[in-house]
Amino acid sequence: MPSIPQQIKSAIDKSRHVLLHLHPGPDADSVGSVLAFFHYLKSINKDVTLISGDSNLSPNLMTLPGADQILSKNYFDIEVKDYDLFIILDSSETRQISKLKKVVFPKALNTIVVDHHASNTGFGQINLIDKTSPATCQILFELFTELKIKITSEIATCLFAGIYADSGGFKYSSTSSKTFSICAKLTKIAPNFSQTIFNLENNDRPERPKLLGLHLNNIKTYFNYRVAISALPQKLVYKNNLNSDDSVNSEIANTLKSVVGWEIGISMIEAGKNKVKVSFRTRDSEKFDVAAIASATGFGGGHMAAAGALIPQPLTKAKRLVLRAISRLHPELGKA
């Protein structure tokens, strides 16, 4: 039987119309991996469509090469039956394709899943999943290398961006010597990597620091000061003429877990009626697997050190759900 990389190449060679997508609340690994694959498919003259999915792109991700080719459509805006191959990147389940409705694949649609999330069960016809990898972009580098696919400057920039961002700037425990070796090769191909990092980290809107300030003013601690949570109600966000921002959620959670003694940092924002976005981070993923906590809410997942959830409940109930999940998984923390 052919190897998984060879199966992927065969499926691509046989395809005529290829679909790519971004997961809801796309991050640099989602956008970087999809754009890298987009550039490769265009180089071999494939008819490829790249859709934004449920969310808009943040300004920093629009700086990646090829981002202007992303169509502002979700899975249900297009005729999926017009495609014979769907390449699903950086998505652990079909709800990461769209959360608007249940995603169903047409029978004739071939599917390839490439991902690194621990919660991925392999829902594609062909699955390339490495749960030890810090980023889907790292898996793609290895895939492209094995298949002898030329990594251009555009592809290298996209892959580097995804690896850098999803490894937490090389700070997460999933970062390995292999990660640095791969990034060294990518930066030889695309030497302007410092500009790529600058673009990722310095393209904020004026509203962003205001939203950060609101979060920082709403921090409460639980479980004997070992868990810190910032929870913003929708009315407070709207009162200040702001919108929910997934990247702010992640940044706040990272800030909270950076405090000595706060083992878990959680950021929550009410983004609509019965719609709460949650970001989980931990100082010690061996002790506190936040992917397990997110999964225990029934509405999330991710990695041991960094996870997320979208809870279809009011903020107060969503917060109680999160606290119960922590209590159930970590009784050693005591009462909330």
281, 257 contact by CB (below 8 A):
yes
231, 215 contact by CB (below 8 A):
no
From the list 228, 193, 225, 234, the residue with the least C-alpha distance to 334 is 225
For domain 207-333, the question of CATH label 3.20.20.70 is answered with no
pLDDT value of residue 199: 96
pLDDT band at residue 202, thresholds of 50, 70 and 90?
A: very high
CA 257, 32, 173, 293 torsion-angle sign: positive
pTM of the predicted model, to two decimals? 0.87
d(CA 18, CA 20): 7
pLDDT value of residue 242: 67
Instruction: Share the mean pLDDT of the chain.
Output: 94
Rg (CA), the chain: 20
d(CA 9, CA 5): 6
Per-residue pLDDT at 274 exceeds 70:
yes
In a 3-state reduction of DSSP, which class is residue 107? coil
Instruction: Tell me what the mean pLDDT of segment 171-196 comes to.
Output: 96
pLDDT value of residue 2: 92
pLDDT value of residue 224: 94
Instruction: Tell me what the mean pLDDT of segment 76-102 comes to.
Output: 95
3-state helix, strand, coil in the chain (%, to 5): 40, 20, 40
Task: Dump pLDDT digits (tens) for 39-62.
Answer: 999 999 999 999 999 998 989 999
pLDDT value of residue 296: 96
- Biggest alpha carbon–alpha carbon distance for the chain: 60
Q: In what order do the strands lie in the sheet with 275-282?
A: 219-222, 227-232, 264-272, 275-282, 306-311, 300-302
pLDDT band at residue 280, thresholds of 50, 70 and 90?
A: very high
CB atoms under 10 Å from CB of 76, counted, come to 11
CATH 3.10.310.30 in the chain is located at 207-333
- Read off the DSSP letter of residue 56: P
d(CA 278, CA 257): 14
CB atoms under 10 Å from CB of 176, counted, come to 15
Residues with Cβ within 8 Å of residue 278, at least 6 apart in sequence? 249, 266, 267, 268, 294, 297, 300, 308, 309, 310, 311, 318, 322
pLDDT band at residue 205, thresholds of 50, 70 and 90?
A: confident
pLDDT value of residue 119: 85
Task: Dump pLDDT digits (tens) for 211-224.
Answer: 889 999 999 999 99
**% of residues, the chain, pLDDT over 90:** 82
Instruction: Tell me what the mean pLDDT of segment 295-311 comes to.
Output: 91
Q: Terminal CA-to-CA distance of the chain, rounded, Å?
A: 53
CA 302, 304, 307, 313 torsion-angle sign: positive
Cα 90 → chain centroid: 7
Q: CATH for 4-201?
A: 3.90.1640.10
Strand partners, 303: none
272, 233 contact by CB (below 8 A):
no
d(CA 176, CA 193): 19
Task: Dump pLDDT digits (tens) for 98-138.
Answer: 989 999 999 999 999 999 998 898 999 999 999 999 999 99
pLDDT value of residue 244: 66
pLDDT band at residue 249, thresholds of 50, 70 and 90?
A: confident
* Count of positions (residues) in the chain: 336
Tokens, residue 306 = 């960094």
305, 254 contact by CB (below 8 A):
no
CATH 3.90.1640.10 in the chain is located at 4-201
Task: Dump pLDDT digits (tens) for 21-43.
Answer: 999 989 999 999 999 999 999 99
Instruction: Tell me what the mean pLDDT of segment 247-266 comes to.
Output: 92
Tokens, residue 325 = 């999940």
302 phi/psi in degrees, rounded to 5: 140, -135
What Å distances lie between residue 154 and 47, 60, 212, 311, CA to CA? 19, 16, 32, 36
pLDDT value of residue 237: 79
